[in-house]
Amino acid sequence: MMREVTATRYVEPLRSGGSVPGVVEADDLGIYVVKFTGSAQGRKALVAEVIVGELARALGLRFPELVLVHFDPAVADSEPHQEVRELHAASAGVNLGMDFLPGARDFTPEVAKTFRVDPLEAGRIVWLDALTANVDRTVHSSNLMIWPTSGTVPPRLWLIDHGAALIFHHRWDGADPEKSYDFRHHALGHSAPDVRAADAELAPRVTEELLRTIVDEVPDAWLADEPGHVTPDAARDAYVEHLHARVRASAAWLPTDFPTREELAAEEARRAAKSQAGRPNWLKQVPDLHGKPAAEQDWSVHLG
């Protein structure tokens, strides 16, 4: 079961993503990145965070501990920005916290050139993303961290941020367990991910019982308004049934075709040239930032 903690000190908001999570200290003296129930992404994003994150941990992938955070907006009454205060006011009660990784840094394309990822580990991560329809782990936004970055412990790859996964729960009537997704631009596609070995290893472990245990972690309140499902337990049944059926259909969606770095670079160059060609002359000297990663984030001060 996920532990429950109470936020006692508000550290800062994180503006790197649309959900504007916040860093808080809790009554267990832990530091957590909190994703709020009142964010624009809605409670489905928190449901996806719990299901995919806990599944990752159950399969042995590195993912920070998740906790349920009781949050009183009064804790953050010093926050100067009106829109953030409104977010807090809409999020009183139980929210989702992720253990803070001090000093962690982004797994960027530049880092990937020198940080070797084992093909089987890469395959496990790609397999999990394909199973859970997580299309938000690309070369432009990896949602992968390197941690620790100092000390005697060697740095490892950590997964974060699965709020955009489980695409099917945004339209249950179109959920297809055999649906494949385009993973050509996956952040680990250049690491020769051994997805077939990962499938042979992980698929037998994703049992109906394991999925039931994980889905039971999701608070009732986050499932209460699930369209097409009368009760939270009915929604839980739907998640379990779909993901279990998807595991059994892995041959239909297993991604195996990953472009090389050179092919990705050529594709990016063609896209940039096409974009520039459509610009008026006065704009052609302005860099095209479409599809580019945001400014490098200093993960020593935040995670989210």
Percent of the chain whose predicted confidence (pLDDT) is above 90: 79
- Tell me if 173 is assigned to some domain: yes
Among residues 52, 74, 99, the one where a domain terminates is: 99
Q: Residue 38: is its pLDDT beyond 80?
A: yes
Mean pLDDT of the chain: 90
Residue 133 has pLDDT above 60, yes or no: yes
Residue of 240, 236, 242, 208 whose CA lies nearest to 222: 236
Evaluate whether residue 270 is within a structural domain: no
Positive or negative: CA dihedral 85, 87, 93, 99 = negative
Segments forming the whole domain that contains residue 8: 3-99
pLDDT at 293 over 70: no
Asked if 109 and 159 sit in the same domain, the reply is yes
pLDDT value, residue 35: 97
Same domain, 90 and 130: no
Which residue among 64, 83, 99 closes a domain?
A: 99
Q: What's the number of domains the chain is made of?
A: 2
Q: Are residues 198 and 72 in the same domain?
A: no
For residue 302, being part of any structural domain is answered with no
In a domain, 283, yes or no: no
Query: Which pLDDT score, from 0 to 100, does residue 273 have?
Result: 84
Q: Which residues pair with 9 in a beta bridge?
A: 25
- What phi, psi does 172 have (nearest 5°)? -60, -35
Sorted by sequence, the CB contacts under 8 Å of residue 2 that are 6+ apart come out as 50, 54, 66, 67, 68, 217
Residues 115 and 44 in one domain: no
Assess if residue 31 is contained within a domain: yes
Same domain, 246 and 111: yes
Taking the C-alpha atoms of residue 217 and residue 94, their distance in angstroms, rounded to an integer, is: 13
Q: What is the pLDDT of residue 267?
A: 83
298 within a domain of the structure (yes/no)? no
Nearest to 135 by CA among 60, 174, 187, 194: 187
pLDDT for the residue numbered 177: 98
Do 70 and 157 sit in the same domain of this protein? no
Strands 3-13 and 66-71: parallel
pLDDT at position 129 over 80 = yes
Side-chain half-sphere exposure of 256, counting CA atoms within 13 A: 9
65 domain residue, yes or no? yes
Kindly tell me if the per-residue pLDDT of 247 is higher than 90. Answer: yes
Do 109 and 249 have their domain in common?
yes
Shared domain check, 216 and 155: yes
